[in-house]
Structure 1
Amino acid sequence: MEEEAIPVLRVEDAAAAVAWYERIGFAKQWEHRFEPGLPAFVEVARGGVRLFLSEHTGDARPGTLVYLSLQDVEAIARDLGVHAEDTPWAREIEVRDPDGNRLRIGTPTK
């Protein structure tokens, strides 16, 4: 088993959040609800990058910042209608998902 950290992001509507994350190359892996009608807890993944999206109010705070190091930030920027900028370590964008979670996405330049 490889050790890893998986950020948990608070979302109001897991289905809408999954659709938004699919725009940047993530795919839904699984969804859990304790019972029908209760809040959803979902995993999305893109390659080896995983995120948990939770409708549970106590799991995370909206507005959290997560840094994602992904390939081809230019394609992601185009798909989201934003402009990538150069930093000393990567070409980056910063966007917010529909729930206000901040994502800084970068493709390393070195």
Structure 2
Amino acid sequence: MTSDSIGFEPPIPVQRIFDVTKAYGFYRDYLGFVVDWEYRFDDLPGGGPLYAQVSRASMTLHLSEHHGDGTPGTVLWIAVHNVDALHAELADVEYGFARPGAPEDGPGGRGFELIDPFGNVLRFAQSS
């Protein structure tokens, strides 16, 4: 028997990154996320690897330069209410490293995917 009193929240994926400038160029400047906070261990030279939270609307992601956090090539399936509006928005953004393909029908609904600079796949889909 399960209890609803536990209060689960949606999981927050940790995306492995290798370059903060490229990560922010993709997630913040291209996809429109906001950087909520950044953390670096102060006792390491240069502050150590970045661990940050980015969000857009109700979607939250963690970005990590830490070895062992996340796996390059991870696939995220991201539900959206209007995949065509998101596609149009991203098609209008000047970003030289990714262009969204036209939305197509798939097993999770109509959608498209983008690959971040580190090989992580973001599949945006609007369920039917």
The separation in 2 between residues aligned to 1:108 and 1:7, in whole angstroms, is: 20
Provide the C-alpha distance between the structure 2 equivalents of 1:105 and 1:17, rounded to a whole number of angstroms.
Answer: 18
Q: Could you tell me whether the CA contact under 8 Å between 2:33 and 2:55 is conserved in 1?
A: yes
How far apart are the structure 2 equivalents of 1:91 and 1:37?
42
Runs of 5+ unmatched residues, structure 2:
1-6, 91-98
Q: Which residue of 1 aligns with 2:52?
A: 42
Cα distance in structure 1, aligned partners of 2:32 and 2:84: 13
Contact in 2 for aligned 1:18/1:44 (Cα 8 Å)? no
- Tell me the CA shift for residue 41 of structure 1: 0.5
TM-score (norm 1): 0.85
Higher strand fraction (1 or 2): 1
Which of residues 84, 91, 111 in structure 2 aligns to 1:92? 111
1:51 corresponding residue in structure 2:
61
Tell me whether 30-39 or 51-60 shows the greater mean CA deviation.
30-39
Identity of aligned residues (%): 38
- Rounded Cα–Cα distance in structure 2 between residues aligned with 1:87 and 1:58: 32
Which structure 1 residue ranges, 4+ long, deviate > 6 Å from structure 2? none
Q: What TM-score does the superposition give when structure 2 sets the normalisation length?
A: 0.74
Change in CA separation of 1:72 and 1:11 when aligned onto 2, cut-off 3 Å = same
In structure 2, give the amino acid aligned to 1:68. I
User: Root-mean-square deviation (CA), in Å?
Assistant: 1.9
Does the 8 A contact of 2:100 with 2:112 survive in 1?
no
Match in the other structure for 1:14? 20
Structure 1 residues 81, 66: closer, same or farther in 2, change over 3 A? closer
Any idea what SS the aligned residue of 2:47 has? coil
Larger radius of gyration: 2
Match of 1:24 among 10, 31, 41: 31
Match of 2:76 in 1: 66
Aligned residue pairs total: 109
Contact 1:8/1:54, CA 8 A, preserved across alignment: yes
Displacement of 1:15:
3.2
